[in-house]
Each structure stands twice: as structure tokens, then as C-alpha cells.
Structure 1
Amino acid sequence: MGRIGVDLYPLATGVPLAEAETFGRFLGGSPANVAVAAARLGRRVALITRTGADPFGGYLRAELRGFGVDDRWVGEVADLPTPLTFCEMFPPDRFPLYFYRLPKAPDLEIAVEELDLDAVRAARVFWMTGTGLSEEPSREATLAALDARGGAGAGAGAGAGAGPASGAGTTVFDLDWRPMLWREKPGPYYERALARATVAVGNLEECEIATGESEPYAAARALLAAGVELAVVKQGPEGVLAVHRDGTVAQVAPVAVRVVNGLGAGDAFGGALVHGLLAGWPLAQVMRYANAAGSIVAGRLACSSAMPFAAEVEEVVGRAGGE
């Protein structure tokens, strides 16, 4: 549930936008990318969002269907344009984003009365993001969806043997901190969402926004204390740390890759995380698999269309010596 838009990326790295002459058009928006990533891995996925009633909105719905993502809950907003996002690519670690989401993004116009709460309850995994909490009515709708899921505690399982979650009733809060999209302090809304989620995922900056803690283990402990059962702290070149409430810890090193565009790596990680949670894998196996998926997309230009298939991820995991 959440953000969608059109990504317009220069077709060459290291070129400032002012000098770029050719662009590729791609489906974008973090939750939409995560949906595509999970679908590429064979999962049955639907997206709750809204677009403008314009050609770009039609393009996004067609792209979702082409990627195998159910678009029945993708609505239109007549008076708001479908968002555009431009990026600049200066590998290995600088990828500025420019969001065109004014006067307001249609995906922030999701209202409670539009939600199919029976479908939200029935999903084995529900994924939502911090950006969905940034404005009304999306904020109220996102919290209502979390309430429909039954709050934290549903679907948590053993971290070591049967996997970090049972797959049933897993609710993932992607911290997804985009400061340019907020007009208020996010703290109170993040707190409410963490109390209702079972899994929290974020990089160090996002964890600090959510908890006030920037040291990885301290951030993970703070996320657990806020209500989730599994805390996943992405550390970029330091890999990923995952801590389950039952005491299981997985610290996984990064996969070496020649970076082309790092923007979609976290979304590939997210789709693979969902896949591993549904499979009931041990925590370390889930993290190795998600790391591998992220590394593949970091080495490619696009985001959504770059999401890997299972065979590609398994090959990278095998080369890295994982399961």
C-alpha cells in the first residue's frame, strides 16, 4: 500500500540532469517496486494506490499488470497529475532524487472508505510505508489498514528454526523516510505504526528518525521495544542486521557489486524479504537472499524492470556461499 509514480532516469550514469538528453521511463515508487519484486519471485501480489486520471496513470496500471501485480485497487484521482520522479546517477553512492508530486500526489488521497479491509486482513503479508503516513487522508487509511490487521503479534514465529515469521498475518512497516515529502514531524505517526506492525525495515537514517537511535543494535532494540517482532536494519556497505524478539540475530555481509544505480536495491531487498518470510526460512537465510536481490538491482540502471527472478538471486546467493 502506498506510493506509485513514473521514474524518468537518464540513460547514462554520471550525467547531470541539466545535460541529460535521453531518459528511460519506468514504473516507480517504493511500494510499487516492492510489489514487482515479490511478483518476480513468484508471489501473488496486489497494490493499493491511486494515480492521476491521465496517460501516465494508464501506463502505470498497464505496467503493474505486465509485471503480474493485481491492479484492482489502483484508483484514479481526477484533478491530480500522476507523479514523476527524476534522478541523477553518480555511482557508487550519490543518487539525488527530484520528486514532482505537487499540488499533491494521488497516492496520498487513499481514503478509509475506499479500502477493501477484508482483502487487507486476508493478505499473508501487508506492506506499508512511512510516506503513506505523511498526509491525510492516506495517513488515516494506512492506520486503519494496520488496525484491520490486528496489530502487532499476529503471525510471529520462531526466529531460528521455523523462520522469523509464520507468513500469516505479517505486517511490514518500511520506514521509508523521505523528508521532502513531510510537512510535520513523523515521530508520533511512526510510533503508532510500529505499535501495529510485526516487522520494521529501514536504513540507519530511517531507524534514527523512527527511534532516535543510529547505532545498529541500539536501533534494532528500540524498534523491538516499539512493538515489532522483527527489526531489519540496513547498513549499506556494512550489510544488514536483523534481530528477532525471540533473541535470534542475523548479521549478513554485503554482496560485492559494481553499482550502477543504488535506488532500487532496497525495494528488491524488500520483495525478497517478503518472499523469505512467506517461505518460513531461517532469519539468516532470509537476509542473505534479500541482500543478494538488492545487489543485483544496484548493478542495473532501472528499478522495477530490473527486479530479479528467483534463479538470478539463487545464483548470487550460491556464489556468495549462502544457502
Structure 2
Amino acid sequence: MATPPAVPDVFLSGLLFYDIGFAGLPAAPAAGAEVWAAERGTSPGGIANFAVTLSRLGSRTSLAAAFGDDVTGGLCWQELASEGVDLELSRRVQNWPMPLTVSLAYDGDRALITHGSPSPLSPDDLIATPPPARAAVAHLGPAPQAWIGKAIAQDTLVFAAAGWEEASQHPTAILAQLPGCHAFLPNDREAMAYTGADTAEKALAKLAELVPLAVVTCGADGALAIDGSTGETAAVPGVPVDAVDTTGAGDVFGAALVHATLAGLPLADRLRFAALVAALSVQRIGGATAAPRWSELAPWRCHDNNYAFLDDLPHE
């Protein structure tokens, strides 16, 4: 008899892209001109940033996502499978090309160009019943997703994420889906767009009325959070590094936060860990493929006592 697959620690669903990144650009491209990049790379993107980071940190990870049936869809599938991500609930979609994003990194930030069309399969088409994972990561869109309620009903901690498009075009629809979720993880611009607040701190306070764990990331400046389930509040600075490509850094931060939350760390240590993992990722091109492994994290325990909690985290 075949051994049934292990129940994942974290189940994920969201939009998947294949990313092509160019870094070390001297300036933004201008019409009629050619700009040479110092570095380039490719990587699965979107929800894959969460999935690969979690898997590298040692969480058993399962992903339900639509993959294109073209060359980049095949590459994306192979790379995620090689990272140990369970793709049993994912599906290759015939005659649907993989959404593609080109990232141009310059001046300490990046610009994105994306081409693609909506998947013919919704999350609920892929997920009849979510696995009984300890946590789930859900990319919210304008329409509610039935699987999220099912996950909440089986005591899965749902970490909700959404992008700038949702914040700018569908803020009311996104906020309406937060009750029942455990956490919401926007960046500062998104948080202010959702709440109408004029500072990240005020936006955080409003979001904390909707979810037990509200987190607002502030890029290189760090992150702040309120955990109503424990009564903790915390703010941590970013980790100073020479950034090559910030693509996917927010997703990598979120994945590390999920891993540290499941480990039961205090809120400030969860934020410090997530900020460290995200900072290490921006030193390379890409989101998923730039996520650090434990071999890169372990030295921080040796030279900085602020990271003594690393000994308490499960890892690969």
C-alpha cells in the first residue's frame, strides 16, 4: 500500500508567474535607447516566492496553483518540484501561456512589466477541500474564495496577502474577506490605501481591528505589527544590506513570518527573523530562487545575540 503524503505545515494558493530579472541597470530604459544590465536571472514568482521560502526554511509546503502549458510553465513546475513543494493540487492548463513578468532593478527599487491573462481555473476549481495544514497562505482577489472558509473551519491559521492592484482597485472587497483570517500582510503603501490612513502606524491600528495579527512591511525601514491574540506590539528596523533586486522581498518576508509564527516565537523575534530572511534575499536576483537557506542564516546567530532565537526555530 502506498504511503499517503504527509500533511503539509503550510498550504498555499495564489497567482503564479515566471519572472525574468535584470539588475545593475544604470538607469531606467528610455525610448529608443538600449540599457545593458550587469546581472540577470530567472525564477518562479508570485505565490512561488512564499512556497519556495517556506520549503527552504523547513516547512512542509503544498501549493494549489495553475501552471501554463508552455515552456515557462514547465520550467516553473520543475523548479518548484525540485524545491520540495508538493504540487498534487496544482494543474497544468492546456492552451494557456504562463503569465510572465520582467523585473528591472535600478535606483534601489524595481519596475515590473507583466504579460498574461487570468487563469481559466479559479482557486476553488483547484481546491475542493484544503488539506488540514497548520497554516495557509491565500492571495485574495475581488471575489471571495470558498476554500478559505473551509480552511478556517478546520482551525487552519490563514495568512492573507494581496497586491497593489487589489489595494488600489478593490480595497472594500479585500477587507470584507479578512474576518476569520488570522493575519494580513500588506506593505505600507497598500495598508494606507486599504484604510485611508496617512501613516503606516495608523493603518496598522485599523487593520488590527479586522485580524488577530496585522503586519505592515516598510521595505528597507523594517516592519511593524500588532498581535491581538497575544497582546504584543512590535516594530523592527530593516537589516542593512546592499540590495541587488527587491522583487518578491515582501513575499519572502511573509513566508518567514509564517514559519516563525508556527514555531511560537514572540512577535518581535518573528519580525526580526522575517526581516533578516527578506534582507538576505534582496542580495540576489529574483524572489523564490533568492530565498536564503539555513546555511546562510546560521552565521547570524554567532555574531549577533539579537538572533539567538534562531536556535529555537525548526529548520531543514
Both structures adopt the same fold (TM-score exceeding 0.5): yes
Offset of 1:126 from its aligned partner?
Answer: 0.6
Question: Which stretch shifts more, 69-78 or 5-14?
Answer: 5-14
- 8 Å Cα contact 1:175-1:210 kept in structure 2: no
Deviation of the 1:113 alpha carbon: 3.8
**3-state secondary structure, aligned to 1:19:** coil
Query: Cα distance, 1:304 vs. partner?
Result: 1.4
Alignment of 1:296-307 (within 5 A): 296-307=280-291
* Cα distance in 1 for residues equivalent to 2:42 and 2:282: 18
Q: 1:86 is matched with which residue?
A: 102
CA distance change for structure 1 residues 11 and 52 in 2, over 3 Å: closer, same or farther? same
Secondary structure (helix, strand or coil) at the match of 2:44 reads strand
Q: Number of residues paired by the alignment?
A: 289
Structure 2: 5+ residue runs without aligned partners?
1-12, 309-316
- The aligned counterpart of 1:42 is 58
Contact 2:15 2:65 in 1 (8 A): yes
For the pair 1:145 / 2:128, whether they are aligned, the reply is: no
- Name the CA distance, whole Å, in 1 between partners of 2:45 and 2:26: 21
The structure where helix makes up a greater share of residues is 1
Is contact 1:204–1:214 with CA below 8 Å preserved after alignment?
no
Shift of 1:239: 1.4
Paired residue for 1:124?
134
- The 2-side partners of 1:319 and 1:65 are apart by 34
In structure 2, relative to structure 1, the CA distance for the partners of 1:19 and 1:125 (3 Å cut) is same
**Which residue of the partner structure matches residue 252 of structure 2?**
268
Q: Distance in 2 between matches of 1:290 and 1:10?
A: 25
Relative to the length of structure 2, the TM-score reads: 0.84
For 1:319 and 1:96, the matched residues in 2 are separated by 35
SS at match of 1:57: helix
Rounded to whole Å, the distance in 2 between the matches of 1:317 and 1:145 is 39
1:234 to 199, 202, 217: 217
> Does 1:281 find its partner at 2:248?
no
Q: Return closer, same or farther for 1:115/1:274 CA change in 2, 3 Å cut-off.
A: same
Specify the alignment match of 1:247 in structure 2. 231
Cα distance in 1 for partners of 2:98, 2:279 equals 29
Contiguous gaps of at least 5 residues in structure 1: 156-168
Aligned to 2:5: none
TM-score (norm 1): 0.82
Report what 1:200 is aligned to: 184
1:99 aligns with 2:114: yes
**Matches of residues 12-27 of structure 1 in structure 2 within 5 Å?**
12-14=24-26, 16=28, 18-20=34-36, 23-27=40-44
Q: 1:97 to 1:116 in 2, by over 3 A?
A: same
Q: 2:163 aligns with which of 170, 173, 176?
A: 176
Which digits, 9 at most, give the CA deviation of each residue in 1:217-240, with x for residues without a partner? 2212211212x1011111223311
Task: Report the CA distance shift for 1:146/1:118 in structure 2 as closer, same or farther (over 3 A).
Answer: closer
Q: What is the rounded CA distance, in whole Å, between the counterparts of 1:313 and 1:176 in structure 2?
A: 28
Distance in 1 (CA, whole Å) between partners of 2:23 and 2:175 is 40
Change (3 A) 1:150 1:318: same
Shift of 1:317: 5.6
* Matched residue, 2:7: none
Counterpart of 2:21?
A: 9
State the shift of 1:69 in Å: 0.7
Distance 1:118 1:293 in 2: 28
The alpha carbon displacement at 1:210 in A equals 2.1
Question: Within 2, Cα distance between the matches of 1:10 and 1:86?
Answer: 8
- The answer as to whether partners of 1:95 and 1:263 remain within 8 angstroms in 2 is yes
Report the Cα offset of residue 91 of structure 1.
Answer: 3.6
Match of 1:162 in 2: none
Which whole-Å deviations, capped at 9, do the CAs of 1:79-102 have from their partners, x for residues lacking one?
32101100111042x20000111x
Offset of residue 2 of structure 1: 0.7
1:35 counterpart SS class: helix
Distance 1:176 1:185, change over 3 A: closer
CA distance in 2 between partners of 1:292 and 1:14 (Å): 27
* Matched-pair contact (CA < 8 Å) for 1:146–1:196: no
Q: Which amino acid aligns with 2:118?
A: A
Q: 1:97 to 1:118 in 2, by over 3 A?
A: closer
- What is the alpha-carbon distance in structure 2 between the residues aligned to residue 145 and residue 243 of structure 1? 26
**SS at 2:48 equivalent:** helix
